Chain A
Amino acid sequence: MAKSIDVSDLNIYYGDFLAVQGVNMTIKARSVTAFIGPSGCGKSTFLRSLNRMHEVIPGARVEGKVVVDGQSLYDPSIDPVAVRRQIGMVFQRPNPFPTMSIYDNVLAGNRLNSRRMKKAEADGIVEKSLKGANLWNEVKDRLNKPGMGLSGGQQQRLCIARAIAVEPQVLLMDEPCSALDPISTSAIEDLIHELKSDYTIVIVTHNMQQAARVSDETGFFNLKATGEPGQLVEFNPTKKVFSNPDESATEAYISGRFG
C-alpha cells in the first residue's frame, strides 16, 4: 500500500500571490523524498498542496495537476477529506489533541470518523501504530494518560503513530524534527527508514545532513529572485544532489555558499 505521486505544472497561490511556480516531479512509491531549500521558498506550501491541506487557508488555491494512483487530486469530483485519509501528514510542531489520552490520540483518525470497532481491534491498532512509531515501549504502561504529558520528541512520535494508524498510502512530513533534540531526531530518522518499506514518504527539512541520511531522492527549491515565486530548481537522486548536482545553485546552497 503505497502510491507514487505525479506532479505536473503545479502553480500554488495565496489569493493573488503566486507562491510556487511550475513544479514538475514524480515522487516514487516506497521511497523517501526530501525537499530542501531556504525559508520561504515554498517547500511546505508545496507539501501541503499534495494532500489538499493548502486550501484550508482562506484564499489559497492551486493550478495544475497532482496525480496519485491515476486520479487527479484537484479534479472537481475529488473529495478533499478522502484525499487526506489516504495521504497523511505530520507537522513541524507536535500537535497531539489535548483533550485525549495517548490511546485516544492514536485512534483519533478512526474515532473522529466514528468508525465503529471492537475493543480488541482498537487495542491492536494502537499497539501496532505505537510500535510502528517506536513509542510503544515508552508509553505502554500509561496509555490512558494525556498525550500532552509526553516530551516533545515523544509527542512527535505520537503524532506519527496517529498518522500511520489510519494506514495512509503516503506520509507527508513538514520539518518533523525541527523542534526536537538530536536523540529524538535520530529516533525519528530511524523510524522513517523503517516506514519506507510500507509508505511513500515525503519530508521537508532544513537539515541537509538529514536529507542526505534519510532520503532516496532530493528536490531543491529556491526563489527565482527576491519577490518572485519559488520553484523547483533540481530534482535528482540524493546521492547525485549531494555529490554532483546538475545546477550550480544547488551546489552553492548545499556547500553553504548560497547566493
Chain B
Amino acid sequence: MTQTLEKPSASRDAMPLSGPRLPAAAPYVVGVAALAVGVGVGLILGGGVIAMGVLAAVTFIVGLTVWAWALEGRRGGVDRLATSVVWSAFLVALVPLLSLVWTVLSNGLPALSPEFFTYSMRGVIGDEQGGIYHALIGTLLITLGAAVISIPVGVMTAIYIVEYGRTAKLAKAITFLVDVMTGIPSIVAGLFAYALFVLIFGPGIRMGFGGSVALSLLMIPIVVRATEEMLKLVPDELREAAYALGVPKWRTIVKVVLPTSLSGILTGVTLAVARVIGETAPLLIIAGSTDSVNFNLFADRMQTLPVFIYYSYTQPGVPPEFGQERAWGAALVLIAIVMGLNLLARLVGKIFAPKTGR
C-alpha cells in the first residue's frame, strides 16, 4: 500500500480536461439534414406527411447519436440519444394538443357572435339564429352547485385526515375510500344521483341539482387529495408555534394552517372544477336536455354545454351544418372556460402564496 502512495499510477501524471466536442450548431445541422432526408425519401418513394416526419425524426436521432458517439465518445453519444428521444416524445405529445386546438378554433370561431351567447335554442329550426345561453347558464349553475357541495366536504375531510386522524384507522380507511372514489366512472356517478333522486321524487325526475350531486361525487375526491397534500406541506413547527402561544387546536387550523396552505387549496379546488365542468354522461342522465333557459336548479331539465355539444352534433337537425357549427362553437367556449379556470388557478395561487418580502 505504501508503495502505491509514494508512486502514483501513470495516469495521474496527466490531467486531461479537454476533448473533442460537437459544435454548438450540431443539432440544427443534423435537424436540417434529417428533414431533407425525410422529405426527399418521402417524395421519391411516395409517403405521406406522417411517414416523412417519422423518417426525419429517426434520421435525426440516429444521425446525432452516431456523430456524437464517434467524436465525443460513449457518454456524449448516450447524452445526445437521451436528449433527442426526450425532445421527440415532447413533440409527439404536443401534436394531438395543437391539432385539437386548431380544429376546434377553425370550426368553432365562425359560430361565435353576440347572439350565440345570448340566445337559447327555444323554437330554433333550420338556419335560424340559435345560441348556447341556456347551456352556459346550466353549466355554470350545476358546476357552482357541485362546488358548493364538494368544497366544504372535501376540505373538511382533508382537515380530519391530516390534523386529527394522523394515526387513526378511520383516517386510513377514508384515504383508501377516497382513492377508490377517484376511480368511479362518471356514468356511475350519474346513475347514483338518478337513483337517489328517483327514491325521493319518483321515476322520471330531471333536475339540475341532481347533476350537481353527480358532479360533486367526482369532485370530492379531487378536492380531498389536493387539500390533503397542501395541509401536509405546512410544517409542524408552525402548528407548534401556535400551540406554544396558547392557541387551541381548532383556531390553529383555522388561523394558521389554512391561511398558510390557502393558495394550494384554492388551486386544487379550481382544477377540480375544471375537471368536472366538461362531464357529459352523468348530466345526460340526471339533468337531461332542453332548448329553454332554466335558472332553477331544483326543478325541470337543465341544458349544459357538454350535453348541448353532444345533441347538437348527433342530432343537428335539417340542414345539419348549422347544428354542427353550434356544436363546435360550444366546444370552443367550453375549452375557453376550462383554460380560463386553469389561468385563474395560477393567478389565485400567486396572489395568496405566503410572501417573503424580499
Contact = CB atoms under 8 A, between A and B. Distances in A.
A51 interface: yes
Interface residues of A, number: 34
Interface of B: 166-167, 235, 237-248, 251-252, 255-256, 259-260, 262, 354-358
Nearest to B237: A95
6 contacts: A51-B244, A56-B239, A84-B244, A113-B247, A146-B355, A166-B246
Interface in A75-108: 81-86, 88-89, 91, 93, 95-99, 108
B356 A112 contact: no
Contact of B356 (A85, A86, A148): A148
Contacts of B167: 58-59
Interface of A: 51, 53, 56, 58-59, 81-86, 88-89, 91, 93, 95-99, 108-109, 111-114, 145-146, 148-149, 159, 162-163, 166
Contact of A98 (B240, B246, B260): B260
Contacts of B241: 91, 95-97, 159, 162
A85 B246 contact: yes
A166 B248 CA distance: 15
A112 B251 contact: yes
Given A95-B235, A98-B260, A108 B355 contact: no
B244 to A, nearest CB: 4
Contacts of A166: 245-246
A99 B259 contact: yes
Contact of A163 (B244, B252, B357, B358): B244
* 3 nearest A-B pairs in the assembled complex, by CB-CB distance: A149-B357, A85-B246, A98-B354
B251 A53 contact: no
Contacts of A84: 243-246
A146 B260 CA distance: 13
B256 A81 contact: no
Given A81-B247, A95-B235, A113-B247, A145 B357 contact: yes
Given A108-B242, A114-B251, 9 more contacts: A58-B167, A84-B244, A84-B245, A88-B245, A89-B244, A98-B238, A99-B262, A112-B255, A148-B356
Nearest to A90: B244
Contacts of A98: 238, 260, 354-355
A204 to B, nearest CB: 14
B245 A112 contact: yes
Contacts of B256: 97, 99, 112
A118 to B, nearest CB: 20
Given A95-B235, A99-B260, A113-B251, A146 B356 contact: yes
A108 B256 CA distance: 10
B216 to A, nearest CB: 29
A149 B358 CA distance: 6
B243 A53 contact: yes
Contacts of B239: 56
A79 to B, nearest CB: 9
A66 to B, nearest CB: 16
B197 to A, nearest CB: 42
Contacts of B358: 149
B345 to A, nearest CB: 19
A85 B242 CA distance: 10
A89 B240 CA distance: 9
A248 B186 CA distance: 73
A3 to B, nearest CB: 15
B357 A146 contact: yes
A108 B357 contact: no
Nearest to B358: A149
Contacts of B244: 51, 53, 84, 88-89, 91, 163
A112 B251 CA distance: 7
B242 A149 contact: no
A91 B245 CA distance: 12
A112 B355 contact: no
A114 B245 CA distance: 12
Contacts of A162: 241, 245
Nearest to B262: A99
Contacts of B242: 97, 108, 112
B357 A109 contact: no
